[in-house]
Amino acid sequence: MHIIAISNRKGGTGKTTVSVNLAAEMAYSGLRVLLIDLDSQGHCAVGLGLKLQKGEPCSHQLFVEPAISLSATIHSTLVDNLWLSPADPLFDHGSGQRDDQRLKRAIQDEALHERFDLILIDTPPSLDALLFNGLQAATRVLIPYVPHPLSFEGVRQLVRVLFKVMTRENRELKILGFLPNMVAEHVRQHRQVNSEVGRQFGAQRVLPGIRNDIRLAEAFAAGKPIRAYAPGCRGALDFLELAKEIREGLNGTATRPVI
């Protein structure tokens, strides 16, 4: 089973849009998918139309309540084959013990590899125990970025963190790819930033981008993945292509290298 962390040190890069729609596409392909939301904004539940009742278990309780199981936080969604462990919007990032292995142990101890074919983790942009838990638990990391200098700086900051994790703490972790998001090819700056990402990290490691599409925001507001909301729009087609590339990468049949 593969575990993919979706990460960038810069907020506003569309991490959660990518997490929700990639998870949905993988589920539509027949895989049993678990999406774990570690970002306390809690937007994965919004994008999947999941409304939690007060007091229902959330992913962040794993880090403050030792007795709770990750399985207890898992909720079914309206998408077949897709389950969500939602975030707690009231979670205090300074609370709980610093234990970078907590999520990894929970996945292993609860044998979630037998229940799911793929786990996706939407990580927070903050450099704290939650981000490190996601990276320690993952086997792959997908890095979405907006083709903007600030987002590119977030990529560079994350890669520095990844180098430490990959060489010292989680040698199983590899970079799956860099994903341009909200792309407009007619914008010169977008082309320049994408070119720079390719120059620094390898052009073959830059995945097909997700084009700018207002339908993606509309789908989120409607609480639906883009395929369920507007299956023929360019955002839906881009996520369909992305899911295909990811599956090929995980199966070892892709032409793009995995770091």
104 and 137 Cβ atoms separated by less than 8 Å: yes
Provide long-range contacts, Cβ within 8 A and 24+ apart, for 65-70. 69/106, 69/110, 70/36, 70/103, 70/106, 70/107, 70/110, 70/112
Quick: pLDDT tens for 50-88.
998 888 899 999 999 888 999 999 999 999 999 999 999
Higher pLDDT: 14 or 33? It is 33
DSSP the chain: -EEEEE--SSSSS-HHHHHHHHHHHHHHTT--EEEEE--TT-HHHHHTT--PPTT---GGGGGT-TT--SGGG-EE-SSTTEEEE---TT--TT-S---TTHHHHHHHHTTHHHH-SEEEEE--SSSSHHHHHHHHH-SEEEEEE-SSHHHHHHHHHHHHHHHHIIIII-TT-EEEEEEEEEE-TT-HHHHHHHHHHHHHH-GGGBPPPEE--HHHHHHHHTTS-HHHH-TTSHHHHHHHHHHHHHHHHHHT--SS---
> What's the pLDDT tens digit per position in 160-183?
999 999 999 999 999 999 999 988
Q: Tell me how far apart the alpha carbons of residues 216 and 226 are, in angstroms, rounded to a whole number.
A: 6
Q: What is the pTM of this model?
A: 0.93
pLDDT, one tens digit per residue, over 192-250 is: 888 888 888 888 899 989 999 999 999 999 999 999 999 999 999 999 999 999 998 88
C-beta separation of 228 from 8 below 8 A:
no
* Mean pLDDT, all residues of the chain: 90
For the chain, list the domains and their CATH numbers: 2-247 (3.40.50.300)
Q: Which residue has the tokens 């490190």?
A: 132
Q: Under 8 Å CB-to-CB from 181, ≥6 apart: which residues?
A: 13, 14, 17, 18, 144, 145, 146, 209, 210
